[in-house]
Chains A and B, each alone.
Chain A
Amino acid sequence: MLLRIMKNNFLFSIGIIVCSLWIVIALMAPLITPYSYLAQDLAHRFQAPSSLHWFGTDSIGRDVFSRVLMGSRISLIAGLATIILASIVGMIYGGIAGYIGGLADEIMMRISEMVMAFPGIILAMTIAAALGPSLYNTLLAMVIIWWPNYARVMRSMVIANKENEYVEAAKSLGASHFRIFFNEILPNSVGPVLVLATLDFGNAILLFSGLSFLGLGSPPPTPEWGAMVADGVLNFNYWWIGTFPGLAILTMAVGTNFIGDSLRDFLDPRLRKEL
């Protein structure tokens, strides 16, 4: 199926290629970086891109190319961790709200709406300022911002599935709520949430790099792309310091979004018959 879609869809193919490339880079990073991402060389700081340093060097003479490659690991992990944790939280929350229904559902959904209305980036900044910036705290903030989307989808799926015949059947057989929820409703509801989470991967990477740009990510010398762009703003005369990490964020996000965009079209049955 994958090949069939790829054949017909140019953008999708590009997405698959770009993403595979980044995954390979992330896995092999320590093997393929020409320099250590930590090695400082003050005598050769602010070197423009050359055959020695493909992406130039930064303010303490580190190789930007090596740092960009190493940075792919953090971005991929942060993106994955966010969507996985947020979808777990969202599924549990939305599942409970949808299954119980009534007033509890109403209150829980209003709370999730409140979180959505809350300016996420300000919440993240406040948390980071208060607890100190670290990868852990940044992920915490991102999960807090991110889960309500999944909770909403999960809830509507659970409500739809609650009325299904097999649930009724399980009920008449005297199954407990716990069993019904976990054995009947949950397996049939997680699909759309997982799809949504996959499509969100690019956005998660973007948000993470934005927070990292504001100085909320891991402490130095961790090679985080967003922080590297911030370094590029500090030293904007040396264009390569900020440009290449930014391009890395862009390509990773574009890759995942090309895939997501094409998948959305493909999965949308109404569009499918026209295509």
Chain B
Amino acid sequence: MRKNLRVLVALLTCVLLFVVGCGGSKDAATKPEASDGTKQLIMALDPDYETFDPGLAYEVYALLVLHPVYDTLMQFEDNLDAPIDGIAESHEVSKDGLTYTFKLHKGVKFASGNPLSSQDVKWSVERSINLKGNGAFLTDGIKSIETPDPDTVVFNLKEQDASFLTKLTYNAFGVIDSKLAMENGATNAPDASTSDKAKLWFDTHSAGSGPYVIESYTPKVEVVLARNKNYWGEAPYYDKVVLKAISDPGTQLMMLEKGDIDIAFNLGPEHVKQIQDKPGIEIKKAQSMTLTFLLMNRDPKIGGPIANPDVQKAIRLALDYQGMQTIAGEGSITPVAPFQVGFLGTLPPRDPKTAQDIEKAKELMKKAGYEKGFKTTLEVATLAVEGMDLPTLAQKIQNDLLQIGIETEIKTSDIMVALDPYRKGTQALSLWYWGPDYPDPNTQLAFLPGNPVGLRANWTAAMNPKLVELGKKAAVEVDKAARVKNLEDIQKIMDEDSAFDVLLQHARHYATRDNIKGTDYIDLYKINLKNVSAK
């Protein structure tokens, strides 16, 4: 017993010394030059990806990883105005707008060495359709796909769709090496949603023709992309791209300051201020396509006083948009309707200084018969939108509404719990955010009366038939000028009568080391990793 004890004490002392002895490794705090000459880019982000199966992935950051791995027929380069050809060399749209014909680049090989043909395109899209994944709705309008020869693909649509080329930029249309994928359990059969077994394989491998391949994926830790040696286009600068999962923005900032990483992607509006004068860091700011809005139910049984259109207008006038923009950070703006600045046909944003008019709001409250105000609940999900904490904004709104006599009690819940009443349209007053499904104003038409989001406020088509009519036109109009006119009219009407008050279109704040370039923001991909290089 005694002897054992002495051994134990000796052992503990050793451990203690070892721990203390390790204290000297200060050198670990700076990023060393890669000794073997591999050029490596390290980006920290708070990722939401659950899978890298191009047929299933539909998360916000999915395309950050999948765009450099899987080529698509169409892609965006610098802005979201209009997509350009990707792996398609050229494309043609029939006069009736129902047939799209694409010519593929010749001689393209997948990373595996297998040749890429129109058959692979057809197979990949069919697989996406049949997998019924979260992004499958993008394929809804497709009637059939034809492959007259190995370099030509033809899509036949059920009806006209002004946003079809934009939809093609998504990973649901990413071209998969069908031979390799089938060897690993993938299928495009109609029952693919149950018979396809390749999801797990796709998470840690890839079967694309893009400049990078997925080398490894450790959930919650990192994704490593490595150069595709068979890439048909211009080779990217970096040999490896490491995407580190660092959920906390503060931590990302610390690591960037220390030089441990090259890009810190999820900074809050307040973080960038702190590093403004730090050497070696470049602060980046961009317009995000994410909106934060207030939902005001139109059904009196649910909304009570909130359902009154005059009250809804009063709420819109009572809010301090300048203050909200301060909370959301520099670069955030307030669009007049749920259409993002940056999309085709969007009106200029509100002037935050004049958008608030308490007197007029009070008059409207009086007109509606609620001069003395009322009590209600403001529902909000606990999460951050582009670095801005939603419950914090809710507290600001609570404060503002008090000025016109509306007393709100904030009810927070987890996003997953909050989604249920939101979808069922049983929330009287709630704070929500919205990211476009694809970068085209068509995706915003969901907010119109009678459409899915409109119905979440019980805003039915009968309540504003004119708006419904205009919306239907804008969705299919192929003539650009006519479409812009339609969209502008929609926004003007929604400025006067809407169940939604758009509070913010956010800014995206991030920062990079100042020795890299090509890191401009593009909403779809976040950063186009193909283009990043050293200065």
Q: A and B touching (C-beta < 8 Å)?
A: yes
Asked whether, in the complex, the Cβ of B250 is within 8 Å of the Cβ of A133, the reply is: no
1/0 contact string of A232-264 vs chain B (CB within 8 Å)? 011111100000000000000000000000000
User: Which of B270, B326, B391, B413 sits near A220, CB closer than 8 Å?
Assistant: B391
Among residues of B, the one whose C-beta sits closest to the C-beta of A132 is: B413
**B416 — nearest CB in chain A belongs to which residue?**
A129
| Cβ of A120 under 8 Å from chain B | no
CA distance A133 to B391 in the complex (A): 13
When distances are taken between beta carbons in the complex, the residues of chain B under 8 Å from A221 are 395, 398, 410
Instruction: Name the residue on B nearest A125 (C-beta).
Output: B414
**A220-B250 contact in complex given A42-B327, A215-B382, C-beta closer than 8 Å:** no
| Closest Cβ–Cβ distance, residue B40 to chain A (whole Å) | 27
B526 in the interface (beta carbon within 8 A): no
Q: How many residues of A contact B (CB 8 A)?
A: 23
A12 contacts the other chain (CB 8 A): no
Check A220–B395 contact: CB distance below 8 A.
yes
Q: A220, B412: Cβ atoms under 8 Å?
A: yes
Tell me, in angstroms, the Cα distance from A214 to B271 when the chains sit together.
21
Are B323 and A42 closer than 8 Å at their CB atoms? yes
CA distance A236 to B417 in the complex (A): 28
Residues in B with CB closer than 8 Å to A46 are 270
Cα distance A220–B274 in the bound complex, in angstroms: 26
* Nearest neighbor of A62 in chain B, beta-carbon distance: B395
Q: How far is the CA of A42 from the CA of B413 in the complex (A)?
A: 25
Of A40, A133, A237, which one neighbours B413 at CB under 8 angstroms? Answer: A133
Determine whether B248 belongs to the interface, using a CB cutoff of 8 Å to chain A: yes
Cβ–Cβ contact B395 & A133, under 8 A: no
Whether A133 touches B382, Cβ cut-off 8 Å, given contacts A233-B248, A236-B250, is yes
Within 8 A of A (CB), among B365-412: 382, 384, 389, 391-392, 394-396, 398-399, 409-412
B395 partner residues in chain A, CB cutoff 8 A: 40, 60, 220-221
Q: Is A59 a contact partner of B410 (Cβ separation < 8 A)?
A: no
Q: Is B268 an interface residue (CB 8 A)?
A: yes
Contact (Cβ within 8 A) B412 A59 = no
A130 within 8 A of B: yes
Q: Are B411 and A132 in contact (CB under 8 A)?
A: yes
> How many angstroms between the C-alpha atoms of A59 and B410 in the bound complex?
18
A40, B268: Cβ atoms under 8 Å?
A: no
Chain A window 97-117, contacts with chain B (Cβ cutoff 8 Å), 1 for yes, 0 for no = 000000000000000000000
CB <8 Å contact, B271 and A237: yes
Would you call the interface of chain A mostly helix, strand, loop, or mixed? Answer: loop
CB under 8 Å from chain B, chain A span 178-220: 215, 219-220
- Whether the pair B248, A59 counts as a contact (CB closer than 8 A) is no
Taking the closest CB of chain B, its distance from the CB of A124, in whole angstroms, is 13
Q: Which residues of chain B come closer than 8 Å to A238, judged between CB atoms?
A: 270
In whole angstroms, how far apart are the Cα atoms of A105 and B398 in the complex? Answer: 52
Please, which residues of chain A bring their CB within 8 A of the CB of B384?
234
* Binary CB contact string for chain B from 261 to 274 against chain A (1 if under 8 A, 0 otherwise): 00000001011011
Binary per-residue interface labels of chain A (56-71) against chain B in the complex, 1 for a CB within 8 Å, 0 otherwise = 0001100000000000
Q: A129-B416, A221-B398 are in contact. Are A235 and B268 (CB under 8 A)?
A: yes
Interface residues of A in 107-154 (CB under 8 A from B): 128-130, 132-133
In angstroms, how far is the closest chain B Cβ from the Cβ of A104?
38
Instruction: Give the docked Cα–Cα distance between A221 and B395 (Å).
Output: 6
The smallest C-beta distance from B339 to any residue of chain A, in angstroms, reads: 27
Contact between chains at B411 and A60 (CB < 8 Å): no
- The CA of A231 and the CA of B270, in the complex, are separated in Å by 13
What is the bound-complex CA distance between A234 and B271, given in angstroms? 9
Which residues of the partner chain B approach A215 to less than 8 Å between Cβ atoms? 382, 412
Which residues of B in the span 233-276 have a Cβ within 8 Å of any Cβ on A?
248-250, 253, 268, 270-271, 273-274
* A42 & B326 in contact (Cβ 8 Å cutoff): yes
CB pair A219 B417 closer than 8 Å: no
Question: B433 → chain A, closest Cβ, in Å?
Answer: 17
- CA distance in complex: A60, B323 (Å): 9
Nearest A-chain residue to B382, judged by Cβ? A215
A60 touching B392, Cβ below 8 Å? yes
- Set of chain A residues within 8 Å of B409, measured between Cβ atoms: 219
Nearest 9 CB-CB pairings of A with B: A236-B250, A132-B413, A219-B412, A237-B274, A42-B323, A129-B414, A219-B410, A221-B395, A220-B391
| 19 A-B pairs whose Cβ atoms sit less than 8 Å apart in the complex | A40-B396, A42-B323, A60-B395, A60-B396, A60-B399, A129-B416, A129-B417, A130-B417, A219-B410, A219-B412, A220-B392, A220-B394, A220-B395, A221-B398, A233-B248, A233-B250, A234-B250, A234-B268, A238-B270
List 20 other contacts, CB 8 Å, given A40-B396, A45-B326, A129-B416.
A42-B326, A59-B327, A59-B389, A129-B414, A130-B417, A132-B412, A133-B413, A215-B382, A215-B412, A219-B411, A220-B391, A220-B395, A220-B410, A221-B410, A234-B384, A235-B268, A237-B250, A237-B270, A237-B273, A237-B274
